[in-house]
Amino acid sequence: MAQGHVTGRVLMERAGRGVCDAVFEAWPDLTEQAGRACILCGPGNNGGDGYVVARLLCDRGWGVTVFALGDPRKLPPDARANHTQWAEMGQVRPIEEAQFDAETMPDLVVDALFGIGLTRALTAPLDRLAEQLAQVTAQGSGRVVAVDVPSGICADSGRALGAAVRADLTVTFHCFKPGHVLDGPERAHSSATVVKDIGLPKAPMTSIPGPAVALATAPAAEDLRKAGPAHKYTHGHAVVLSGPAGRTGAARLAARGALRIGAGLVTVAARADALPEVAAHQTAVMQRVVDDAADLKAFFGADTRANAFCAGPAMGGGAGARDMLAELLALKRPTVLDADALTLLSEDQSLRDALHGSCVLTPHQGEFARLFPDLAARYAAPPVSGPACSKLDVTLDAAVQTGSAILFKGAVTVIADPQGRAVVSPADDRTAWLATAGSGDVLAGFILGLMARGHAPFQAACHAVYLHCACARRFGPGLVAEDLPETLPEVFRALGV
C-alpha cells in the first residue's frame, strides 16, 4: 500500500491516529478518564487501521477488546504487521464471540471491518452485530465510530449493500469519497463525517476521487464581479416565461433571482391576463405580453440580446405551453428547464429531441423519475454489490442521454454535463431550510441570470447551486424562498465580489 515515498505502514499509523484524534475532538468527555473500547477488525487494511487504534487507546490506559473477522495470518502486509504489534499487547478474539447489549456496552465501539474495499453485503454474524449496535446506541448507550466508511456502506455511492453499521461519527482520510457526500434512497448511516489529513499530496477536502468529480466550491469573485465600462446589455437579458393569472409567483421568484445575481435586464413574459399580477409585484423586472408561441418568436426570435431563458416554474401544461416550449428550444439559446417544462419533456419525445447543449434541466426526484424512468428504477433498486448505482451515476447518464446539463435536486444536489464532469453539493442542517416552496424557482433564476451574464450552462448551474446553499447557510433558520435573492448581496460581499 505504498503511496509515493510514504509507506503504507506510515499512512496506516496516521489513519489510526486520525481516528483517535477525531474521537477525542468530537467527544471531549472521553478524555477525562480512560474508558473501555471494543474494536471490530476486518480482513483488509481497514482492519489494519483498527489494530492501530487498539494500540493507541491501550497506550492511553483504555481497556481494549479486539474482535477479528477471519484469519489474521491472511491480512495484507501492513495490517498484518499492526495485528502482530497489537497481539503483543492484548488478545484478539473471533468476531463470532462479539455481542452488544445495553449492560455491557463499552464507551466506544470502533468499526474497522470494511472501508473502501467492501464488495458485497454483510453476512452473519456481521449483519446481526450491526443491528445490535443500532439498537443499543438508539437507547443512548455507547458511541460508534466508523473507520473510513460505516461497514456495509459502499464508499462509491453512499448506498447500503444490505445491513450496515450506523455510526455516530465517521473518520475518513485525505478527502471525502463520493459515498460520504451523496445520499441514497436509504437513511443516512453516519451522523457526522470528518476528514483527517494523512499527508498524501493534493489538498484534502476539496475533491472526491473519480473521473472529474468535485465538491461544489465557491465561484471566484472575479467571475461574478461587474467592473469596467459596461452597460446593462453587457450583462445579458434574461427572460422568464410565466404561468397564467394566479400562478405567476414562481416566475417572479425566478426573475428576482436572475436580477439579484446580476443579469443586466430581466423580463417576465406572461399572457395578457396575467400581466397585471406580474406588474403589481415587480418594479425593476420588465414585463412583456407573450400569449403564445408566435408571440415568443416575434418578440425574441430576432432579438438576440435576449440571451437566456427560463421555462417551467408554474408554467402549466397543455398544447399552448407545449408549443411555446418547442419554439423556445428552436431558438437554441441558453435555457433553464424546470418544473412543468420537465413534465412536458417527459410526455413528448419531439420536445426531448429538441434539447441542446445550452440547456440545463433541473429535476427533483419526482421529475427525474418521470424523465428518466429507467435510470430512476436502477437507482431505486436495493443494491447488493459494490460499486452500487449512485445519484452521481444516474445524473451523469441523464446528461449523456439528453446532451444537456442536468442538475438533480434534493438534500444533496448533483450537477453533471454530457462530457462527464460532475459536481456534488452536500447537505447540512442549514441547507435543509431550502426545502421550502419556491426555493427551486429561485435556483432556476440564479442559473438563468448567470447564463445571461455569459456563464456556460454547466458552470452557471454549479455556481448557482453553491450560491443558493450559501444564501441558506447565511440566512439560517426561518428561511423562505423570497429571502434567497435578498441574501445574495451579503453572500457576494463575503466572497469579495
Return all residues near 282 (Cβ < 8 A) that are at least 6 apart: 252, 255, 256, 268
Q: Is 409 annotated as a binding residue?
A: yes
Inter-residue long-range contacts of 344-353, CB under 8 Å, 24+ positions, other chains counted = 344/317, 345/371, 346/370, 346/371, 347/317, 348/322, 350/326, 351/322, 351/325, 351/326, 352/402
Minimum Å distance from CB 312 to ligand ADP?
10
Q: How far is CA 476 from the centre of its chain?
A: 19
Q: How far is the CB of 68 from ligand NPW (least distance, A)?
A: 12
Distance CA 430, CA 384 (A): 33
**332 grid coordinates:** 437554441
Report what 151 binds from ligand ADP, K ion, ligand NPW, none; CB cut-off 5-8 Å by kind: K ion
Q: Is 430 annotated as a binding residue?
A: no
Give the residue, chosen from 151, 172, 395, 459, that forms a contact with K ion under the rule CB under 5 A.
151
147 binds K ion (CB under 5 A): yes
Residue sitting closest to ligand NPW (CB): 115
- Helix, strand or coil for residue 213? strand
Tell me whether residue 198 or residue 328 sits nearer to ligand NPW (CB atom).
Answer: 198
Please work out the total of residues on this chain that contact ligand ADP, with binding judged by CB under 6 A: 17
Interface with K ion: number of residues (CB under 5 A)? 4
C-alpha cell at 433: 431550510
Q: Contact, 19 vs 145, CB < 8 A?
A: yes
Could you say which of 54, 328, 394, 434 contacts ligand ADP (CB under 6 A)?
A: 434
> Is residue 111 near K ion by the rule CB under 5 A?
yes
Binding mask 335-354 for ligand ADP (x = CB under 6 A): ----x---------------
Give the CA distances from residue 78 to residues 12, 20, 50, 72, 206, in Å, rounded to whole numbers and listed in that order. 8, 19, 12, 12, 28
Pick out residues in 42-71 that bind ligand ADP (CB under 6 A): none
3 state SS of 108: strand
Residue 441, annotated ligand binder? yes
* Binding-site ranges for ligand NPW (CB under 6 A): 1, 3, 11-12, 15, 42-49, 76, 114-122, 147-148, 173, 198
Please choose which of K ion, ligand NPW, ligand ADP, none residue 111 contacts, taking the beta carbon within 5 to 8 angstroms, the exact cut-off set by kind.
K ion
Distance between CA 435 and CA 481 in Å, rounded? 9
Q: Is 92 annotated as a binding residue?
A: no
Burial call 351-368: b when 16+ CB within 10 Å, e when fewer: bbebbbbbbbbbbbeebb
User: Quick one: which of 427, 466, 470 has its CA closest to 190?
Assistant: 427
With respect to ligand NPW, which residue has the nearer C-beta, 35 or 42? 42
**Choices 29-37, 84-92, 427-435, 452-460 (CB under 6 A): range interacting with ligand ADP:** 427-435
Residue 18 identity: G
Element (H, E) at 67: strand 63-68
Minimum Å distance from CB 342 to ligand ADP?
A: 10
**The one among 19, 146, 175, 181 contacting K ion by CB under 5 A:** 146
Least distance between K ion and beta carbon 137 (Å): 15
Q: What angle separates helix 457-475 from helix 439-452, to the nearest 10 degrees?
A: 130
Query: Does 242 help bind ligand ADP (rule: CB under 6 A)?
Result: no
Looking only at residues 367 through 426 of this chain, which bind ligand ADP when binding is defined by CB under 6 A? 409-411, 413
Which one, 68 or 341, has the nearer CB to ligand ADP? 341
Cell numbers at 376, concatenated: 430512476
Select 147 or 481, whichever has its Cβ closest to K ion.
147
C-alpha cell at 477: 433558520
Residue 185 vs residues 17, 68, 162, 269, 364: alpha-carbon distances, Å:
33, 31, 13, 38, 13
Supply 290's cell numbers.
Answer: 407573450
Q: Does 445 bind ligand ADP (CB under 6 A)?
A: no
- Tell me whether residue 47 is annotated as binding: yes
Q: Which residues are annotated as a binding site?
A: 45-49, 111, 115-121, 148, 151, 250, 364, 409-413, 440-441
What does the binding site for K ion look like in residue numbers (CB under 5 A)?
A: 111, 146-147, 151
List, as residue ranges, the binding site for (6S)-NADPHX: 45-49, 115-121, 148, 250, 364, 441
The residues binding ligand ADP (CB under 6 A) are: 339, 364, 409-411, 413, 427, 431-432, 434-435, 437-441, 443
